[in-house]
Amino acid sequence: MLITTPDEIRAVVKSAGVVGAGGAGFPTYFKLNAKVDTVIANGSECEPLLYTDKTVIKQMPRELIRGLKIAMKATGAQKGVIAIKGHYKDVVEAVKNAIAQDDAQKDGISIHELENYYPAGDEFLTVYDVTGRVIPEGGIPLNVGVVVSNVLSLIQVAQAIDGKVVTERAITVTGEVANPGVYTVPIGTTYKALIDMAGGLKSKNVALIDGGPMMGKIVSDWDRGVNKTTSGIILLPNNHFIIRMGNKSLAQVVKQSKAACCQCFRCTDICPRNLLGHQIYPHKTMQTIDYNLDEPTENITSAFLCSQCGMCELVACDFMQLSPRKIYAEYRKLLVSRGIKNPHNRSGFDVSSQYENRKVSIPTVIKKLGLTEYAKPLYPKNSKPVSLVRINLSAHIGAPARAVVSVGDSLNIGDIIASSPAEALGTIYHASIIGVVTAITVDYIEITAN
């Protein structure tokens, strides 16, 4: 079938199960249901140590450009910008060559070279860096006429038009493993299998982070499967600063904050949202911990503006080791439970005059986090067949998917195994290996290879 209209594009992208591959998991078909003037392909690889986006861009630059063109057609955009950190010269060169080969400049496609700072790649910062537009408080890129999509998601959009559904993805595996690299594996490959693929652990007593060191989540069950949103896994010693901070309970965070916050302002000084002009002041929020929350002040409701990037916790307060981020997360949870919605919706404000001066470079972040020994270029590695996958049914924004198969069913790669309700925001999941359904739970579907 010839796919020519925006509606047809969205339908195919939905059936292919494409979601935001950079970590958020927002269904891409819904993101493309917009009218904007610019689509940004986000290839910044925001987190330190990860090499997934760089790898897929170098491997498939023409597919990326084609996916960007398709997204532009779906949204009516006249401009398509591929945002890549400029110091990755080989990646930039690969895209420039592909643009030249496809004569894509005539279609409004260009490259924007980002600076190497954290969190470059955050949607709000990327939109400002590329277009000069500032997303309103509590807003989204659509509010300023922009759609932002991860580069792998756009490659998957191009593949969807070719009839390929999402059944695999590239994942960085690094840290305390013998053979770190970028491995392309079926969705649902267990963390254990991925570690074995990377040569196994180099040391005992390690913890696993799904994602990057700044915003990734510590995973306790290594028998679970990786998701469409898993851009990387990092293995770090249990006593590493990042793991110790991640394992702190809220009670510990509150107790330490009450006793030790000296109101030095560092957390506010380098808060990316504050630098964009949003009314979020982490140091002031730390003062509110003893307050009565019956009438939340703006320093409490500003929790809705926090991006959870970790700058306040892991960079600004790396010595005192306090966590405004966790305080914000808890405040937001409490506010939502009380039915309180985000009251912050200003627009048209000024970006801080210190925006450029207070950017923190990735090398500085790596040094502060104690990750220098792991900070080395990574390359594609040969993957091995897996004998079992456990496909998470809620690794996306929206309604969880529900199984449409039964235990004992035989499956081929690409067969639909679960889907969110048709009328709800959600996605579709497909079998990622040839095999038999051996377990179905509320959380995942297990397929064992024949």
**For residue 147, what pLDDT is reported?**
98
Map tokens 């470079």 to a residue.
Answer: 361
Map tokens 């290879």 to a residue.
Answer: 449
Lookup: tokens for 383: 């993957």
HEC states along 160-195? HHCCCCCCEEEEEEEECECCCEEEEEECCEEHHHHH
pLDDT tens digit at each of 450 positions of the chain: 577 799 999 999 999 999 999 888 999 999 999 999 999 999 999 999 999 999 999 999 999 999 999 999 999 999 999 999 999 999 999 999 999 999 989 999 999 999 999 999 999 999 999 999 999 999 999 999 999 999 999 999 999 999 999 999 999 999 999 999 999 999 999 999 999 999 999 999 999 999 999 999 999 999 999 999 999 999 999 999 999 999 999 899 989 988 889 999 999 999 999 999 999 999 999 988 866 566 788 999 999 999 999 999 999 998 889 999 999 999 999 999 999 999 999 999 999 999 999 999 999 999 999 999 999 999 999 999 999 999 999 999 999 999 999 999 999 999 999 999 999 999 999 999 999 999 999 999 999 998
| Of the candidates 171, 175, 183, 172, the residue with the CA atom closest to the CA atom of residue 201 | 175
Q: For residue 218, what are the β-bridge partners?
A: 209
Peptide bond into 186 cis (omega under 30): no
Which residues are CB-contacts of 266 (< 8 A; sequence separation ≥ 6)?
Answer: 283, 316, 317
> What value, to the nearest 5°, has the Cα angle with vertex 324 and ends 323 and 327?
95
Handedness of CA 367, 370, 371, 372 (dihedral sign): positive
Q: What is the CA 130 to chain-centroid distance, rounded?
A: 19
Residues constituting the chain: 450
**For residue 3, what pLDDT is reported?**
73
Which residues are CB-contacts of 380 (< 8 A; sequence separation ≥ 6)?
Answer: 55, 59, 170, 181, 182, 183, 184
Lookup: tokens for 116: 């190497």
Going from the N-terminus, what domains does the chain have, and what CATH number goes with each?
Answer: 6-161 (3.40.50.11540), 167-238 (3.10.20.600), 246-369 (no CATH), 387-450 (2.40.50.100)
Distance CA 448, CA 439 (A): 9
